Amino acid sequence: MRTLAGIGKIVEGINSVNGAIASGRVEKIIYLETRNGASNRLIKLIEDANLKGLAIEKVNTKENWIYNSRHAVVALCVPKKTYSETSINELKLSNIVVLDHIQDTNNFGAIIRSAAAFNFNIVCLPKKRSVNITERTFAVSSGGLENVSIVFYNSIFSLIKKLKSLDYWTVGLEMDTEEDISNVNFNDQKVALFIGSEENGLSNEVQKKLDLVSKINMNNKIESLNASVAAGIAMNHFFKKNS
């Protein structure tokens, strides 16, 4: 079970570090001086960090680089606060994504990135049997995690009840249903979009509790979409409806 002590103490990769700098969480930048010199983007990042008065450390050799070899810059940060389902109304309420046991780091990171892009500024996930939020998660989200609030819930059923009490329309995403999401329009009303696990989708019990279960219209050449791709398409639909 996760605690609510915060996430993202170490953030890796240029996009994610830039996001952490913009959010004001960064205490120190550490970067690797490569044989070919720093890229233009890394040079710009270091310049921005200098202007903000952040501590900066250069590592001269790969042998002394203790962080992920895929990245040449990391930020040491004040942890990003997370929330419980009981305190969700402390947040500035916006459209919400609820993840039901998403396990894959790449899927989770991509969903977070889409959520940040399409104004789904709260992402809820279960405390048990779900992806761990690690340095890699921040890197995959490419800065997106800095722009969404993370809420951990104990029971998806109590979360659904809570969201309905806050006047959310609860919408599930499934392939085996008749309602096409392109026909769904709640005008300016808040939406909580439910995404099921990569293998099993949303359980029948969860679907019965939601206001609506919809699908993404597609040809019959492919059986289903990747969870993060489907989530991105659905979020973009609601984003365009409210733009």
pLDDT for the residue 22:
94
Burial of 78: CB neighbours in 10 Å, binned 0-12, 13-18, 19+: middle
Q: Is residue 1 part of a domain?
A: no
pLDDT for the residue 38:
67
20 and 119 co-located in one domain? no
pLDDT for the residue 37:
65
Q: How many domains does the chain have?
A: 2
CATH number at residue 21: 3.30.1330.30
Q: Is residue 3 part of a domain?
A: no
113 and 191 co-located in one domain? yes
pTM of the predicted structure, to 2 decimals: 0.88
Name which of 222, 230, 221, 240 is nearest 171 in CA terms.
Answer: 230
Walk along the chain (243 residues) and give the pLDDT tens digit of each residue. 343 457 899 999 999 999 999 999 999 999 998 766 668 889 999 999 999 999 999 998 889 999 988 899 999 999 999 998 888 888 888 899 999 988 888 989 999 999 999 999 999 999 887 788 888 888 899 889 999 999 999 999 999 999 999 999 999 988 777 777 878 777 778 999 999 887 778 889 999 999 998 887 877 776 667 888 989 988 998 888 776
Q: Is residue 148 part of a domain?
A: yes
Burial of 5: CB neighbours in 10 Å, binned 0-12, 13-18, 19+: exposed
95 and 54 co-located in one domain? no
Q: Is residue 5 part of a domain?
A: no
Last residue of a domain, one of 36, 61, 77: 77
List, in sequence order, the alpha helices (H) in the chain. 14-23, 40-51, 105-117, 135-141, 156-165, 204-209, 227-241
Last residue of a domain, one of 77, 101, 132: 77
pLDDT for the residue 223:
67
Domain that holds residue 49: 10-77
Distance CA(8)–CA(14), nearest Å, equals 15
